[in-house]
Amino acid sequence: MDKAKFTVVIPAHNEEKYIGKCLRAVRSAAKYVQGGVEIIVVANRCTDNTEKIARRYCAKVLVNDQKCIAAIRNTGVRAASGEIVVTVDADSLMTKYSLSEINELLESGRYIGGGTNPKFDRMSVGIAFSAAYVALNLLPIMIKNGGYLSGAMFWFRKADFLEIGGFDETLVSLEDMDFAKRLKELGAARGLKYGTLKRSYVTTSSRKFDEFGDWYLIKNRRLTKRIFTGKDREAADEFYYDVR
């Protein structure tokens, strides 16, 4: 395809249950922007039909088999032809005006990029308490980083991604928060803001809770805190990379 204005990068590890819905949501959002939307799925250690489904939706499929989400994201973004890049997880759904709102904010000349607020596809008392517990533990990190930085679905210009060196591949978790911090700092140096989409959001699956239980993060607080260091390979493998 000709060079697109947008590239949507989707990391995917055995996502045959979710990837089709994710791609349909991207294609729906693409209808509301001009300039073309390229879709890149970065397949990570897939043993199911993820790649086949992605190609069915005309996505470009790349392979990165590292157990490092930062490296997986970087593989997709570095291959992007679009000026504007959006990263979204394979088990998450952007809303139909997401790309339109991102375009609007970046074209305003007031934003360096930003994130999005997530909503779980189901809620329970356990999930609500777990989310509050995670937020409480992340509070010191957020204060150190200068306040709340939204994530879930990041949006930025590829040139700025390259300038800050992409996602930090020395981190096995919290790479998203680190990226947001550095993007915000770049924006501040230029008099630009790190933004959060207001009208749009992402619906993300509650599958971690389905797999581990709604109260797992609270019952296993030691593991949770190890994940929040960003450097604990054993904890990251247990909760992320070696689950399925």
Residues 191-235: pLDDT tens digits? 999 999 999 999 999 999 999 999 999 999 999 889 888 899 998
Q: Is the pLDDT reported for residue 244 higher than 70?
A: no
SS3 151: strand
pLDDT of residue 7: 98
* 9 token code pair: 């990068």
Q: Is residue 228 part of a domain?
A: no
Q: Is residue 70 part of a domain?
A: yes
Strands 118-120 and 151-157 turn out to be unpaired
- Total structural domains within the chain: 1
pLDDT confidence band for 167 (50 / 70 / 90): very high
Q: Is residue 210 part of a domain?
A: no
- CATH at 27: 3.90.550.10
Query: 8 exposed, middle or buried (CB, 10 Å; 0-12, 13-18, 19+)?
Result: buried
Q: Return mean pLDDT, the chain.
A: 94
Tracing tokens 């000709």 back to the chain, one arrives at 2
Contact (CB, 8 A) for 171 and 240: no
Q: Is residue 169 part of a domain?
A: yes
Q: Is residue 222 part of a domain?
A: no
Q: Is the pLDDT reported for residue 182 higher than 90?
A: yes
pLDDT of residue 241: 87
β-partners of residue 42 are 11, 62
> Which structural domain range is residue 195 located in?
6-121+150-205
- ∠ CA 206-98-63, nearest 5°, is 65
